Amino acid sequence: MSGPAHSAPAPYGPNVWDVPLPKPADEMKVFHGVLPDFKEGSKRMECRAAHIVYAKVAFQRGWIISGGAIFADEDSTEMVGSWILLRAESLKQARSLLEQDVYTTGGAWDPSQFELRPIAIAPLAQEGDGGSFAAYLESAKK
- Is the confidence at residue 141, as pLDDT, over 90? no
In a domain, 20, yes or no: no
Number of domains in the chain: 1
Give residue 140's identity as a one-letter amino acid code: A
Full-model pTM:
0.81
Residue range 85-90: mean pLDDT, rounded: 98
d(CA 45, CA 51): 10
30 three-class SS: strand
Return the CATH number at 82.
Answer: 3.30.70.1060
pLDDT band at 9, cuts 50/70/90?
Answer: low
In a domain, 8, yes or no: no
Q: Are 35 and 114 in contact (CB under 8 A)?
A: yes
95-122 residue pLDDT tens: 999 999 999 999 999 999 999 999 998 8
d(CA 74, CA 76): 5
Pairing status of strand 79-88 against strand 64-71: antiparallel
Q: Tell me, what's the pLDDT at 136?
A: 67
In a domain, 127, yes or no: no
